[in-house]
Amino acid sequence: MDPEADNTVHILVVEDNPINQKLARYMLTKAGYRVTIAKDGEEGLQSYTANSSRFDLIFMDIQMPRMNGLEATRRIRETEHTGGTFQLDLHIPIIAMTAQSMKGDREKCLEAGMDDYIAKPIKKELVLEAVKKWLPGKA
């Protein structure tokens, strides 16, 4: 059976911190979701563009080496504009995970094309709440 053919919600976590990677994987897997981890923005962008339809939602760290979360999000959003036409069904929810909720951070995330924002340290309740909020009827 094609593992991509099932209806399990598949979440891409783009995060460079190994502890946060483990934490996110544990929480999301335990809640019944499939999880793929990318260790920085560049790897996240590659994972996404290699087969964009296999993911349902992305959690995106902001500060990462090689490519940060804002840039990775902008690039992902660019791929959603095909032939100059924005297609809503191609819009994957991207939720920022940021270390400090500094003033202006939320605006920066939304400007880059993110849909939502949760503050670190990662809390299970907030993570699962965000998944359900952005995948209504699916998660």
- The residue (of 64 and 92) whose beta carbon lies closer to Mn ion is 64
**Identity of the residue, 9 or 130, whose beta carbon is nearer to Mn ion in the bound complex:** 130
Cα 48 to Cα 97, 122, 124: the distances in Å are 18, 22, 24
Distances, alpha carbon 24 to alpha carbons 65, 96, 100, in Å: 19, 13, 18
CA distance 17 to 135: 25
Closest separation in Å from C-beta 71 to Mn ion: 13
What count of other Cβ atoms lies within 10 Å of the Cβ of residue 7?
Answer: 7
- Written as six digits, the tokens of 4 are 């991509």
Stretch that binds Mn ion, among 15-23, 42-50, 81-89, 120-128 (CB under 5 A): 15-23
Asked whether position 16 contacts Mn ion by CB under 5 A, the answer is: yes
Segment 18-77, which members bind Mn ion (CB under 5 A)?
61, 63-64
CB of 63 to Mn ion, least distance (A): 4
H helices of 31-122, where? 41-50, 69-79, 105-112
Q: How far is the CB of 100 from Mn ion (least distance, A)?
A: 11
In angstroms, give the least distance from the CB of 53 to Mn ion: 27
Provide the binding-site residues for Mn ion, judged by CB under 5 A. 16, 61, 63-64
